Amino acid sequence: MRIAESNWMQVESYLANDDRAVIPLGSTEQHAYLSLATDSILAERVAVEAAAPLGVAVFPALTYGITPYFLAYPGTLSLRVSTYVAIVRDMLDSLAQSGFKRIVLVNGHGGNAPAGHFAIEWMADHPGVQVKLHDWWRAPRTWAKVHEIDNAASHASWMENFPWTRLAGVTPPAEAVALPERGSGAALVGMAARAYYGAGNFMGLHQRPDADMLALWEVAVAETRAVIDTDW
């Protein structure tokens, strides 16, 4: 059940029979040749497809996240860690107030990890409400499928290039990206990040055949569905 296609009376009826909610967490940040909204598009879509046969409520995505390293790429917006955690707190408080008791944050962006740490602290203050943070793209079965298809995969590479994240009229280079080795220095930010990451794909091909992508998607949807449905 998509909240965007429901009214409050329908949510009230839903809560008489189910107490699960899913919130997709995304980011608006450089994804090389792909949409700046890639993380939000993927988190929301995998959540919606996973929840559909279960009838579980899926909220609209939180489409901004924590991405300070990409601020030199135009179109990237980053929330401060303190802002982000405050937003997640308000969302969880509101869900609990509505009567939701089992909440899955389907996360599409590694930088949003503080939401997971915070969720555990929040649970300790809210007995009777459970929260899971599910990093859909690096969950065990999905990550194994990525590596079965092609070991060279990372941020903004082929593994995020689906028919629903690529842009009309944009053709990425055919060559795989191999960035120079880096030691264990400080994280790169600002123009230093842009100088090192170039267009923004961290590793590997920009695109693979759709058959590979649909096979990966099938695994991701099934794995996300299991997280929503079981182990509460």
Binding site for Zn ion (CB under 5 A): 38-39, 160
Q: How far is the CB of 54 from Zn ion (least distance, A)?
A: 25
CA–CA dist 21, 33 (Å, integer):
32
Decide: 59 and 105 in contact? Cβ < 8 Å.
no
Q: How far is the CB of 13 from Zn ion (least distance, A)?
A: 36
Q: How far is the CB of 46 from Zn ion (least distance, A)?
A: 12
**Toward Zn ion, which CB reaches closer, 36 or 85?**
36
Decide: 112 and 66 in contact? Cβ < 8 Å.
yes
CA–CA dist 19, 11 (Å, integer):
10
Q: How far is the CB of 10 from Zn ion (least distance, A)?
A: 32
Question: Which residue(s) pair with 31 in the sheet?
Answer: 34
Residue 136's nearest CA partner among 17, 24, 31, 15 is 24
**Toward Zn ion, which CB reaches closer, 19 or 39?**
39
**Toward Zn ion, which CB reaches closer, 130 or 154?**
154
**Toward Zn ion, which CB reaches closer, 31 or 225?**
31
Q: Is 6 exposed, middle or buried (0-12, 13-18, 19+ CB in 10 A)?
A: middle
If phi > 0 it is left, if psi is from -120 to 50 it is alpha, else beta; for residue 128 that is left
**Toward Zn ion, which CB reaches closer, 50 or 159?**
159
Q: How far is the CB of 126 from Zn ion (least distance, A)?
A: 30
Q: How far is the CB of 106 from Zn ion (least distance, A)?
A: 13
Residue closest to Zn ion, measured at CB? 39
**DSSP H/E element including 135:** strand 130-135
Residues 6+ apart with CB under 8 A from 172: 32, 33, 161, 201, 206, 207
Decide: 215 and 144 in contact? Cβ < 8 Å.
no
